[in-house]
Structure 1
């Protein structure tokens, strides 16, 4: 008798739970029914549907929202500028895969090197399925030209990868002007120094090697400044209102969006590649190799050592790897005085790799990026920050970024880092 009573009580508990679930389901469906007729409640319905959807549906919804936001931005523009001359100008920027009917607008400092490698695979120039194995020596291969601009653009899957504008500008500065890069120093650094620095030294005017980040900001916001692709707003480079991109990827969700695009192109062998599934690790390994090669190649160029010493070049490269979150900020600079002049390429590579392995978790290292952002922009005068926000206005509106982020505009604290100083290493 006691056993029967126990079974009955268990059944009642399950029964009550079952009835509760039925009741909740009924209320949710009633809620949907009551609000489905109102256009103003689309956000509520989308939120409810998120709980019903599969992971891929989340991606589709987010990509749809990005596309709709870009479309709304374009509708607000006075001139959409879709003339034939605009499209012909765009042809120089767009990359095209005839077989896949796929268009991509490369944007500097938004994973463009990686996507350039992918395009060499798409177009059969490279036979590997690993983009990181694509040789830098074939980067200059010609891509398929777009002959009938309007037809091709209309009938292709159009893709762009974008990035938060303040972090993109800092990344470009770190790579092209702070890091060792004598070609860029000469072509762009000297121009910046000549225009914005009040009393430049003869060495600075000759080399262009010591541009500070505040100086770069003061230069790019000038209407008369000669613009470079690394510092031009994305909307000016890729004309979103003329091309009307189908997929807008973001650097902040780079891996996810890249795999989604490759899936849309039915490139299963690339999507399932272990290298791409472990993209963060692959990117870091590739960055260390590339950094080592760039350092040694630039030091071998005539004139480089007239602008910086071996030690300064190595320290800049070390800081750049820390800025990118590849080497931890607390890892000590490993080279002894004068060692930089005799160390070999393979030895440098081993030192960088070992430093990265000793740098803790990837999450802790990636905090370097945020800290360096605070440090860099804290040194820029407020009036130039305001001008920069106006310079970024179209990118912010078209791609849903905050144009006056509080972490930059309301950062009243002095930074506790010195990523852009090499004397203390």
Structure 2
């Protein structure tokens, strides 16, 4: 028989209804157009057909029925959702309910993947016969997501945020340098343009990160059309992906945002005197911007949830956090339940137009520089 490296036969379509088949045919045409556009642009700009990076992000993920699939997880492009989906599809977990899988479990599942460069050269040509999946997102939406997650929310205040303040802001205050908490979106965008060599994987270009001209992805999903692209991908890779409602995804994101307030790795330096109370209200602001809760939601006062934590600084010694571990967990659970309840009770179902909210007042010159910076991501994947 054939080696297990060979691509298996495609899933039979005999059991599909006419409506399902029509849907798949329609989505297949869209994916073919996306692949054709990518191929045309690669030829136009004469991009290399060879993978250039020894640490390339391309992963071979073992799926159900021993059918592997290549994927390049682009940061800020629903990577957590896709990782969760791949984890279940690979039968790595027994749980059928996707919401029961924690982030550490997903990381464990993806650690079973193997990078392209780890395979022997003689095997690569055979391995590349498997389906190659890439999900992309509008470049400006990726930038907004990176800013909210890493700079405005409790993310990389001690690292990237401080670097942005030192690089972009003239005469920053000692308070800002100690905390790194107040990077504006305009400053972030200036940094992205000014420091192309100091790129961060959360906003590096898809062209650089996933090298689509060399990999030739045959399934190119867009987060904007994920509701169609994911079922199509599931069919193409012969994998039964359990349905995952938008509520499950949103609630997971809500809990993750709350958890940042209580996780030691998200704390600023000990010199920063921002309190838990200030961090508490910042978390609610992020949830409002994402439209997880109403912008006029009745947020409980900090002291009601945090109790005697309100004046404790976020940068307090790790020893304190360890001593208060049980209490912090109780407070975190209360805050998570409150946030989820506000999510279910929200009255405005239409999300805030974050692209308009954040980019409306960006100077024309900077906008042109950003479009040039992400030129190939715009053109290769059909974004405007």
- Does residue 1:75 correspond to 2:43, yes or no? yes
Q: Distance in 1 between matches of 2:277 and 2:127?
A: 49
Q: Distance in 2 between matches of 1:288 and 1:235?
A: 30
The question of whether the paired residues in 2 share the 8 Å contact of 1:311 and 1:340 is answered with yes
Between 163-172 and 204-213, report the one with greater CA deviation. Answer: 204-213
Residues 167-182 of structure 1 aligned to structure 2 (within 5 Å): 167-181=141-155
Over 3 Å counting, the alpha-carbon distance change for 1:394 and 1:56 in structure 2 is same
Over 3 Å counting, the alpha-carbon distance change for 1:301 and 1:320 in structure 2 is closer
The question of whether the paired residues in 2 share the 8 Å contact of 1:209 and 1:307 is answered with no
The question of whether the paired residues in 1 share the 8 Å contact of 2:207 and 2:376 is answered with yes
1:224 deviates by: 4.8
Q: Deviations over 1:323-380 (max 9, x none)?
A: 2121122223332557534481222122112211221253x2x2x1x1x322322342
1:405 corresponds to which residue? none
SS of the equivalent of 1:334 reads coil
C-alpha root-mean-square deviation of aligned residues, in Å? 2.5
The question of whether the paired residues in 1 share the 8 Å contact of 2:179 and 2:268 is answered with no
Q: Distance in 2 between matches of 1:135 and 1:332?
A: 29
Q: TM-score, normalised by structure 2?
A: 0.80
Q: Deviations over 1:10-55 (max 9, x none)?
A: xxxxxxxxxxxxxxxxxxxxxxxxxxxxxxxxxxxxxxxxxxx923
Residues 91-240 of structure 1 aligned to structure 2 (within 5 Å): 92-97=57-62, 99-141=66-108, 142-145=111-114, 146=116, 147-148=119-120, 150-151=124-125, 154-181=128-155, 184-240=156-212
Q: Distance in 1 between matches of 2:97 and 2:208?
A: 31
Number of aligned residues: 335
SS of the equivalent of 2:204 reads coil
Q: TM-score, normalised by structure 1?
A: 0.72
Q: Deviations over 1:44-84 (max 9, x none)?
A: xxxxxxxxx92332211111111111111111113x22335
Between 306-315 and 382-391, report the one with greater CA deviation. Answer: 306-315
SS of the equivalent of 1:172 reads helix
SS of the equivalent of 2:133 reads strand
The question of whether the paired residues in 2 share the 8 Å contact of 1:185 and 1:209 is answered with yes
1:385 deviates by: 1.1
Q: Which runs of 5+ in 1 are unaligned?
A: 1-52, 403-425
Q: Indicate the structure whose relative CO is greater, using CA pairs within 8 Å and at least 6 residues apart.
A: 2
Q: Which runs of 5+ in 2 are unaligned?
A: 1-20, 309-329
Q: Distance in 1 between matches of 2:138 and 2:186?
A: 18
